[in-house]
Amino acid sequence: MNMDTPINTSAQPNDILIEIRNLHFSRGDRPIFDGIDMDISRGQITAIMGPSGTGKTTLLKLIGGQLKPDAGTIKVDGEDVHKLSHKALYDLRRRMMGMLFQSGALLTDLSVYDNVAFPLREHTHLSESMIHHLVLLKLQAVGLRGARNLMPAELSGGMARRVALARAIALDPQMIMYDEPFTGQDPISMGVLVTLIRSLNEALGLSSIVVSHDVPETCSISDYVYLISAGKVVEHGSPAQLAKSESAWVQQFMGGLADGPVPFHFKGPSIMDDLMQSGLG
């Protein structure tokens, strides 16, 4: 794959929703991103995968404007996220973005119903009866209309994520960012979430970004995949293209192999040296 040209698998090559250019970000002395370029197309599900600790969640926070990059630009719908004023950034978030946090991030003192109604009450002047209809429809979409009177503490992890999803689509955003949606889910909840992400994307005409390291689930629903590691985009392409990649690293990651370019053993002296030393000591 050619890493230099902007990348797109869909028929409309100019329909880019998010454009990331030369992104640098570090935490303390540790560089997280070292010059990343990405194009995320409208109407597609784009997956960002990589080993734990490569800053996938950080990338979502950068796109959402919650963190500032050291260098580089992120444009969402043509607007440079980090050059916006506080108010313009909040406007952009309200218009464009929904985010599904790993924990769900439901407000614990509000019921399921009130959680989904929260963005509607904050940002619209709809009547309560209108909000009631909308909330029930959103909850219906994630299959939890019957759970509307429960409190967040009474929900299982998978249910909490579905409620959070209903809340994220409450204001009909144009894009949704999913932060590790499959982590820690049992097979049934996982299947439900996989289906939901795909079907919502189609039904609502969304663009989705899925950050994950669950390779088979993510590949089964995504149109395009970016693999990042050590602050760089290692490879990108459709899931089928990645499966055929010749890079040993990509093969190891996609196949979940224990040893390869990413060694099984953490860096250290050889076991012989270690044993000899402790034996003498």
Partner 1 sequence: MLLDFLQQLGHRSLSIFARLGRASQFLLVTLMALPSVVMRPFLLVKQMYNTGVQTLLIILVAGIFVGMVLALQAYIVLVDFGAEESISLMVSLSILRELGPVFTGLLFAGRAGSALTAEIGLMKSTEQLSGMEMMAVDPMKYIIAPRFLAGVISVPLLALIFMAVAVLGGFFVATDMLGQYEGVFWSQMQVKVDFYDDVVNSIIKSAVFGFVVVWIAVFEGYDCVPTSEGLGQATTRSVVYSSLAVLGLDFVLTAVMYAV
In terms of CB distance, is 25 or 253 closer to partner 1?
A: 25
Residue 91 Cβ vs partner 1, minimum distance, rounded to whole Å: 7
- Within 10 A of 45 (CB to CB), how many other CB atoms are there? 24
Residue number, 96 or 196, with CB nearest to partner 1:
96
HSE, CB side, 13 Å, CA atoms: give it for residue 139: 22
Q: Which residues of this chain interact with partner 1, rule CB under 8 A? A: 61, 64, 66, 90-91, 93-94, 97-99, 101-103, 105-108, 118-119, 122-123, 164, 167, 171
105: nearest Cα among 185, 64, 182, 160: 160
User: Taking the complex as a whole, how short is the minimal distance between the CB of residue 61 and partner 1, in angstroms?
Assistant: 8
User: What is the smallest separation between the CB atom of 167 and partner 1, expressed in angstroms?
Assistant: 8
Cα-atom radius of gyration of the chain, to the nearest Å?
21
Alpha carbon distance 62, 58 (integer Å): 6
Q: Least distance from C-beta 94 to partner 1, angstroms?
A: 4
Cβ closest to partner 1, residue 121 vs residue 213 = 121
> C-beta of 162: minimal distance to partner 1 in Å?
15
Tell me whether residue 26 or residue 102 sits nearer to partner 1 (CB atom): 102
Compute the least distance from the CB of residue 101 to partner 1, in Å: 5
Q: Among residues 123 and 244, whose Cβ is nearest to partner 1?
A: 123
Identity of the residue, 49 or 120, whose beta carbon is nearer to partner 1 in the bound complex: 120
Instruction: Provide CB contacts within 8 A for 162, sequence distance 6+.
Output: 142, 143, 144, 192, 193, 196
- Tokens read off for 76: 């969402």
Helices and strands of the chain, counted as H and E runs: 10, 10
Q: How far apart are CA 268 and CA 277, in angstroms?
A: 13
